[in-house]
Amino acid sequence: MSQPSLQEINENIQVAVKNGRYLTLKTHRMTEMVEKHIQYALESILDKTQKAPLIHTLYTILKELVINGCKANQKRIFFDEVGLNIKDAAQYDEGIAKYRDTFSEKMSLEYGMKARRKGYFVLIDFNFDDTGLTIEVVNNTPIAPQEEHAMREKLKKAMGYNDIAEFYMDQAMLGESEGAGLGLALVIILLKGEGVDPKLFRIMIREDRTIARLEIPFSEKFVSKRDVA
């Protein structure tokens, strides 16, 4: 059976947005077509809710979150293939060094296909109405303990910045120009630039999955999941 075309999938997205308030996309790797689906879904939702000016910021954020989820799944496969335990501190350091030395863009596409065969995926859930938009990006692998610590430290530091260039310059001076958490710090700074409380962005780690949740209020009637018992 042939794969549906970009137009066919976008038409399905349009129908789902028009007729409801919930939409889910699923992917195993980030490709140009996946990027287009994400952008079209956001445009459709924001047009419906009359919040089109948010498209650039939300697309940048969502793309970052989906890439992170795909990379986490691919990294897990890589560790399995080289016979190292990603949860063990010493083996993690050895494995991540090998990963950085050998992994390439070409391998990313290959490992995306492996992720599909092995049952690893990234789900993008949109829940929206006139009061606000909630997006959850879920990948079915947890973050390694070392990466969680680095991520939370950078998110904490990002809270003190309003300018992404200043943040990256300071990180570069500390020798941390790449690595876990820098892209998520971008999320915090972009949200602050739109006047959105960065506390409405959360990373939740479960035993079998990682959830990145972003909430964007459109009105005072919006109820955050954080406020629901």
List, for residues 9-51, the tens digit of each pLDDT value: 777 777 778 877 888 899 998 888 899 999 999 999 999 889 9
Helices (H) and strands (E) in the chain, counts: 8, 5
Residue 1 has pLDDT above 50, yes or no: no
Give which of 168, 169, 165, 195 is closest to 181, Cα–Cα.
Answer: 168
Region 162-170: mean pLDDT is 79
Q: Structural domain boundaries of the chain? A: 6-213
Residues sharing a CB contact under 8 Å with residue 97, sequence separation 6 or more, in sequence order? none
Q: Please tell me the predicted confidence (pLDDT) of residue 125.
A: 93
The percent of residues in the chain predicted with pLDDT above 90, rounded, is 50
Residue 203, CB-side half-sphere exposure with 13 Å CA sphere:
25
List, for residues 44-66, the tens digit of each pLDDT value: 999 988 999 999 999 999 999 99
Q: Please tell me the predicted confidence (pLDDT) of residue 176.
A: 62
- d(CA 211, CA 139) in angstroms, rounded, equals 7
Quickly state the pLDDT bin for 6 (edges 50, 70, 90). low
Q: What is the pTM of this model?
A: 0.89
Q: What is the DSSP string of 184-224?
A: HHHHHHHHHHTT--GGGEEEEE-SS-EEEEEEEESSTT---
Give which of 171, 177, 200, 179 is closest to 188, Cα–Cα.
Answer: 200
List, for residues 168-210, the tens digit of each pLDDT value: 777 777 666 555 567 888 899 899 989 999 999 999 998 889 9
3-state SS class at 133: strand
- d(CA 186, CA 157) in angstroms, rounded, equals 11
